[in-house]
Structure 1
Amino acid sequence: MEAGSNHFMPIKKIFHSCSTQALGAGSRHRAGGRLVKCRHFLAASILLAWPPLGSSDDASLDYRPAGLAIVGIDAASRSANVELAKNTLANPASSGPSPIDNNYPVSAAEPSETVLEIPSDAQTQSTSIQAMFFSESLARQRQIYRQAHKALDDGDLRTYAQLRNSLEDYPLLSFLDYQRIARSGILDAKTIAGFDANYDNSRLTRKLQRQQLRTLARNRQWRTFIENYNSSTKNTRLRCQYAHALFETGERQAAISLSTELWLTPSSMPDVCDPAFHELKSGAENFPDLAWQRFDGAYRAAEMTLARYLERFLDARRKPQAKQLLEAYASVNMLGKQWQSRLALLDASFAEPSDKRQVLALWVKRLARQDLDAAVKLIGKRLVKNDIGSLPAAQSQLLLEELQPYVITRYALGDYNRLPAVYKKIGKPLDQKSLEWLIRAHIAKADWKKLPGMIALLPPEARDSERWKFWTLRAKQLAGQLAPEEKDALAVLADAASFYGFAAARYSNTHFRLQPQHYTLSEKDLQTLASSLHLRKAIEHFIHAEIEQANSSWAIGLREIDNQNWLMAAYLASRLGWHQQAILTAARADAWRHYAIRFPRIASDEFAQQGLRYNQPPEWFYATARQESALASHARSSAGAVGLMQLLPSTAKAVAKSLDREYDKAQLFEANYSIDLGSSYLDQLYQQFGNRALGSAAYNAGPHRVSAWLKNLRKPIPLEAWIETIRFSETRQYVQNILSFGLIHAALYNGTEPAAAGAPTADNLQEQASISRPWPVFSFIGEPEGMVKPYSQQVRRDDTT
């Protein structure tokens, strides 16, 4: 086993790689540690960068870079899924989102506009779906499928074969056969080829091939392994086993070539690579050079555990040099005092200027993590003045541009108040990241007069975003310098259905416009969707509560159809009651104003009851569930947070105890139980901070962090200003989402009876349209005066009687 091996994906990789992984039982995509909870939801290769509600400027409101897995649902829930879908179709106005006329603005600006009734073809649409996906023949096949699955589980292959023969045209027959082959242990090439020929299912075929190769390697059947190996595979474990097989079968030249390529990976490799590496060490004449190349790569990648392990394989010439480099990294606190000797070490160790820059950046960043003030002093004294030895000017500039935003960010995470002074010491960088942190520092200081000028320094694309357009105008308003024509600009910004658009509506005393859109599925649309075998498979898996397979098949199915048809796929998922996939597919289709499928009304009774119990707006609890799990009650994060409200079991247990209620971990996957405990926890955070926006921030990042941020605050600032200064971009976006989602839900459903499970009625929409005042965008989540006070001025409700 190589030193430095670890089985945990780096945080950065988790945040941006889970876009390619299907969600399912056992999936893990959450980075624990510094940020407490990566609460964003992603499923089955759904794209990462999603714009907000109707806005192209700020890709945010449905952005979920890492996240949650959907665990399998117990067998008892399968029939419930069928009934859910059937009930949704039978009564479209009661359990699924209903259409809203796409010309209707949720606004009082034009109360005379016509409000259309729910389209009369909704029931016809449901009848078509019923016939296509819930026919009597399909119902019989589903029953046989479940029986066959049970026979396979019980090892009753005779009964299985009899049942299987009745499913020749059933979409999940391939999955059933895959499971039979995978469990049989008979994984020869002929069987796998026959499976692939029958179903042309590359995904399941690849899974069988990988299982076959693992079995062959375990049994040391190396020649058969080579015969069945696919040279195009990128699987590191299989590639290492293939190299081992080549050594074992005497193909040493090919084995050494592949092993060398694998060896030079600048990170720890899995244990299965050890046999091939052992052969390489004894068979490659230039192995000391290979050891140095890998040491070099590992060192520059900050893989120091691996670098220390590799030191033992270096020759006498290189070993002292490696030791010096390792000591230099370990004692970066001496970097300033030993500057010239460290530069000489770089010159002796690395020929390429870019490699020298990379190592120098590595040292300074480590110094910044240990002693931020010392790093700032070093940058100001050496780098700003270009005192970097033999490093070319172009590389020096790249180094400075890399380190400036790094130290600015680290200061911002700790103390905004020192940021302006630090900014000057490190050379007044003009990169977007540094400037945005500096702007936030001035927002935290309520320095409204300077803010517009600072925003003007941003690159044009950033400066023209909704975020900074809003803050340019809002700062002038707070400073009493907003010109008449700029008041109009603030009102125009209010047309955007986004967090900043809603905030602009509040401060321009105008009405925000959601401008909902709706799409009605036609018979032709349904036929188009049904033409995708994988979409049909996904629906069947969903009905059988095989969630991992359902999500994976859905993702493949979306690739089978034209992307212009993704919107109708989202509507189909919604009509079937598969809200999680409807939400994600709508986002993929850029269907930001199709609110009915993005914000379906579910668990209305429970949210309403919790609102009454805690005297809180139900929209707050709903918005949290929508943000946390995309309304998937069987969501599970890799950090262990589970259920609709994504509670950690330890938190849920503490909340249950505070309520004098029995705690049952298994019940966390039940929607009502999760809503019960999650709502109680949110209310506790509200009692602690006296503000729902702060409570949501604490729900995401932890109460201790919110307390620390409040302690760093010097004076009261408006609520939206405090949200803008939240240090973690994830938490900042999270809180903005909660406000926006809750507002949209309230706008769509306000005034309807809590017991109603459908979309707003036409009468209710007409009532909303006739409201003669603007929507108070933050009234349901902030303090009445909309100000956030420093920690010392906070009146925490749990401290009062």
Structure 2
Amino acid sequence: MTMRHSLSLLAFALLPCFAHAISDSTLLAAREAFRNNDSTQLASLGNGSGDRDPLAAWPGYWQARLALDNGDDNPSRAFISNGGNAFLRERLLNDWVQSLGKRGDWDGILRVAPALSGEARDADSSCWLDVATLNRRQTVASAPDLWQNVRLSDGCARLVEEQAARGVLTPAQTEARMRLLLAGNYLTVARRLAAAANLGERFFTAGGAEQLVQQLLTLGKNNPVAALERAAASEAMFSKAQSGFLYGQLALRSAQRLNMPQALDAFERADPQQLTDEQWEWWLRAALRQQDWGRLEQLSRRLPEALAGKGAWQYWRARSLQALGRGNEATPLLIKISFEHNYYGLLAKEELGTTLEAPLSRSPTPLTLQRQLLADPDIQHALALFELSLRNNKPEWREDGRRVWRWALRGRNDEQLLAAAEIALERNLYDMAIYAAERTVRTHDFSLRFLTPYRDTTRRYASQLEIDEAWVYGLIRQESRFLNVARSGVGASGLMQLMPATAKWVAGKMGLPSYQVNDVDTNIRLGTWYLRHVLDNLSSHPVLATAAYNAGPGRARGWQAAMPLEGAIYAETIPFTETRDYVQKVMANAVYYAGAFRQPGNTLKSRLGIIPAR
């Protein structure tokens, strides 16, 4: 029996038994009553007051939530003053602040908010508190970047309006936000911002210059070339601000279509004050794709401070300095990034001439520490939710368990995080084990960060298909965190997140008349076959195959350049944010797994390789 297995058996024995435990049927009925807005049925099920079961407080929380929707604060006040479930108290405080904000009760927010520390406030509650503070003629720390995001919560959208009204935003930022909202068809929010900032009707006047800007942006979604031609022909109609905004947006569209010469030309004509973080990053990507190292270095110095500090742009700034013969300036940047345990950290290490050694693992955490964590009410709450979900096959309770687990680990030290990872691993909560292990700061256990469940199955199919087992593991880790019942918002299922149509097509090719896509063996068998298929059809290049697995073979092929391209540059300039992040993480994961498997010649740059010409 292994040390971890013996600890697992004892840890299960340490789980507490709760007197007067609330029944599963009561919890399921209470959740359904909340969904149906049925306060009478909820009240009949009790509120769990005084019950030691960590799940007993949920009906009372839902009762208070429904009351808030009806403008009644008393149940929330009673629930919070009663003590008990800390996660639900904090969650209800945030709900309460947001309810008060929607009602415009600024004094109410200022009374409730002190009970929420900065860490406890979610983004919307923080915004509502700032709105309340501004409305009571007090100053708040500015949040200058909010204006860039058109999809803000109610509280943060209101905060931007208050900032615009009070001159916290520059006129250029306010007008840029107006144009972004109109381009996204957020007319109601745009109307509110125009009223708050006293902009009048000029953004909504038919036939005006602002309307022409919107028309050219609409054209530019599908045809940036034509839109830029019309913009140049109509330039006399635009103010400098209008023209600068329009060129910046059309530059972004061009860059995301990988027309980098056109994008670079348009960015030079854009107004830097109206550029969002996304636009700044694509300006650098355009220079990178062209391998215009001089321009990339210059742009990296102009980046807003928050972006300049990102590992991605520190790494590419270092690369541009190397290309320009300024290696002495590049080295300090690379050294700094090399301490990060991620894609850019690995690349930086290799630029410095070092490679990843076998990932660090350590002995299991002391049982006494696991016992302490298992006695923690918040850890008990999370584990009880996972068990409830498993007993009743209700994924929504698992999602609640994940929220509580992440919340319960807030502020923990490295030893506690690793003990929590062990506890999760013992219960096959692989995703939560990885979550805990990834958050350590100084003391790491990479065997917990890069778990290898289902090893026999994965190794067997990888070997049969002659694909790299480390790569397969890197992909599964990114796809599902080894949760075999994982299901994405678009319907992908299982460890390797197969879409229904893909699974059916692969099963047909393999001659499988029937299959269960969430069965571990079947899912890995189908997923590895499809991975081999896209690899064979994309120049046997794992970067292209990884991109294809996420976004489709046609897109992966379309993103190739007219000439061979360094794999890291191809990955950095993938137009889809999700796919770009996915490819980088899968390839970095593969390096860590290859180290654990003692594979020779294991470098990220060799895995990224050179992408052949289209």
CA distance in 1, matches of 2:586, 2:423: 26
Is 1:684 the counterpart of 2:529? The answer is no
CA distance in 1, matches of 2:357, 2:245: 42
Q: Who is 2:592 aligned against?
A: 744
Is 1:205 the counterpart of 2:205? The answer is no
**1:180–1:720 CA distance, 2 compared to 1 (3 A):** closer
CA distance in 1, matches of 2:322, 2:511: 49
CA distance in 2, matches of 1:648, 1:475: 40
Moved more, 638-647 or 520-529: 520-529
Is 1:540 the counterpart of 2:374? The answer is no
Name structure 2 gaps, 5 residues minimum.
78-91, 101-149, 152-180
Q: Who is 1:418 aligned against?
A: 262
Q: Who is 2:613 aligned against?
A: 790
Q: Secondary structure at the match of 1:602?
A: coil
Q: Who is 2:224 aligned against?
A: 372
**1:477–1:789 CA distance, 2 compared to 1 (3 A):** farther
Q: Who is 1:529 aligned against?
A: 374
Structure 2 contact 65–76 (Cα < 8 Å) conserved: no
**1:614–1:362 CA distance, 2 compared to 1 (3 A):** same
Alignment of 1:492-511 (within 5 A): 493-511=337-355
CA distance in 1, matches of 2:75, 2:430: 39
Please report the TM-score for the alignment, with normalisation by the length of structure 1: 0.53
Structure 1 contact 411–419 (Cα < 8 Å) conserved: yes
**1:229–1:597 CA distance, 2 compared to 1 (3 A):** same
Structure 1 contact 586–597 (Cα < 8 Å) conserved: yes
Q: Who is 2:2 aligned against?
A: 91
Q: Who is 2:462 aligned against?
A: 611
Q: Who is 1:456 aligned against?
A: 301
CA distance in 1, matches of 2:368, 2:443: 24
Identity of aligned residues (%): 21
CA distance in 2, matches of 1:673, 1:534: 33
Number of residue pairs matched by the alignment: 493
CA distance in 2, matches of 1:188, 1:609: 53
Please report the TM-score for the alignment, with normalisation by the length of structure 2: 0.68
Structure 1 contact 697–735 (Cα < 8 Å) conserved: yes
Q: Who is 1:696 aligned against?
A: 546
Give, as a single letter, the amino acid of the residue that structure 2 aligns with 1:468.
W
Alignment of 1:232-247 (within 5 A): none
The structure richer in helix per residue is: 2
Q: CA deviation at 1:468?
A: 2.3
Q: CA deviation at 1:648?
A: 0.7
Q: Who is 1:472 aligned against?
A: 317
**1:620–1:592 CA distance, 2 compared to 1 (3 A):** farther
Alignment of 1:472-491 (within 5 A): 472-478=317-323, 481-483=325-327, 486=330, 490=334
Q: CA deviation at 1:373?
A: 3.8
Is 1:776 the counterpart of 2:599? The answer is no
CA distance in 1, matches of 2:449, 2:336: 25
CA distance in 2, matches of 1:405, 1:591: 42
Give, as a single letter, the amino acid of the residue that structure 2 aligns with 1:376.
L
Q: Who is 2:107 aligned against?
A: none
Structure 2 contact 245–271 (Cα < 8 Å) conserved: no
User: Can you list the C-alpha shifts for 1:100-138, whole angstroms capped at 9, x where unaligned?
Assistant: xxxxxxxxxxxxxxxxxxxxxxx5x445414313x9xx7
**1:524–1:464 CA distance, 2 compared to 1 (3 A):** closer
User: Can you list the C-alpha shifts for 1:552-583, whole angstroms capped at 9, x where unaligned?
Assistant: 14533654676316614333112322112222
CA distance in 1, matches of 2:295, 2:68: 65
Q: CA deviation at 1:714?
A: 2.9
**Larger Rg computed on CA atoms:** 1
Structure 1 contact 537–550 (Cα < 8 Å) conserved: no
Alignment of 1:383-782 (within 5 A): 387-388=238-239, 397=241, 403-414=246-257, 415-426=259-270, 431=275, 432-478=277-323, 481-483=325-327, 486=330, 490=334, 493-512=337-356, 516=360, 520-532=365-377, 533-541=380-388, 544=391, 546-556=394-404, 559=407, 563-564=411-412, 567=417, 568-587=419-438, 593-664=444-515, 667-690=516-539, 691-710=541-560, 713-750=561-598, 775-779=602-606, 781-782=607-608
Structure 2 contact 248–269 (Cα < 8 Å) conserved: no
Give, as a single letter, the amino acid of the residue that structure 1 aligns with 2:281.
E
Q: Secondary structure at the match of 2:487?
A: strand
Name structure 1 gaps, 5 residues minimum.
1-89, 95-122, 139-167, 215-224, 240-265, 268-297, 308-324, 326-346, 389-395, 752-770, 792-801
CA distance in 2, matches of 1:557, 1:617: 33
Structure 1 contact 631–644 (Cα < 8 Å) conserved: yes
Give, as a single letter, the amino acid of the residue that structure 2 aligns with 1:440.
R
Give, as a single letter, the amino acid of the residue that structure 2 aligns with 1:674.
N
Is 1:191 the counterpart of 2:36? The answer is no
Q: CA deviation at 1:741?
A: 0.7
CA distance in 2, matches of 1:475, 1:413: 22
**1:418–1:529 CA distance, 2 compared to 1 (3 A):** same
Q: CA deviation at 1:682?
A: 0.9
Q: Who is 1:73 aligned against?
A: none
Give, as a single letter, the amino acid of the residue that structure 2 aligns with 1:422.
A
Structure 2 contact 496–523 (Cα < 8 Å) conserved: yes
Structure 1 contact 623–742 (Cα < 8 Å) conserved: yes
**1:636–1:775 CA distance, 2 compared to 1 (3 A):** closer
CA distance in 2, matches of 1:650, 1:412: 32
Q: CA deviation at 1:368?
A: 2.7
CA distance in 2, matches of 1:350, 1:721: 43
CA distance in 2, matches of 1:513, 1:464: 27
Structure 1 contact 195–205 (Cα < 8 Å) conserved: yes
**1:714–1:468 CA distance, 2 compared to 1 (3 A):** same
Q: CA deviation at 1:230?
A: 7.5
User: Can you list the C-alpha shifts for 1:11-31, whole angstroms capped at 9, x where unaligned?
Assistant: xxxxxxxxxxxxxxxxxxxxx
Q: CA deviation at 1:613?
A: 1.4
CA distance in 1, matches of 2:586, 2:341: 14
**1:588–1:407 CA distance, 2 compared to 1 (3 A):** farther
Q: CA deviation at 1:177?
A: 3.0
**1:405–1:536 CA distance, 2 compared to 1 (3 A):** same
User: Can you list the C-alpha shifts for 1:644-691, whole angstroms capped at 9, x where unaligned?
Assistant: 101111111111222223342xx1101111111111111111111120
Q: Who is 1:353 aligned against?
A: 199
Structure 1 contact 376–425 (Cα < 8 Å) conserved: no
Alignment of 1:221-232 (within 5 A): none
User: Can you list the C-alpha shifts for 1:411-462, whole angstroms capped at 9, x where unaligned?
Assistant: 1121223222222344577845434323222322233344323323323443
Q: Who is 2:116 aligned against?
A: none
Q: Who is 2:170 aligned against?
A: none
**1:583–1:520 CA distance, 2 compared to 1 (3 A):** same
Q: Secondary structure at the match of 2:517?
A: helix
CA distance in 1, matches of 2:453, 2:591: 16
Structure 1 contact 497–512 (Cα < 8 Å) conserved: no
Structure 2 contact 39–66 (Cα < 8 Å) conserved: no
CA distance in 2, matches of 1:487, 1:186: 63
Give, as a single letter, the amino acid of the residue that structure 2 aligns with 1:131.
A
Structure 1 contact 636–642 (Cα < 8 Å) conserved: yes
Pairwise CA RMSD: 4.4
Q: Secondary structure at the match of 1:556?
A: helix
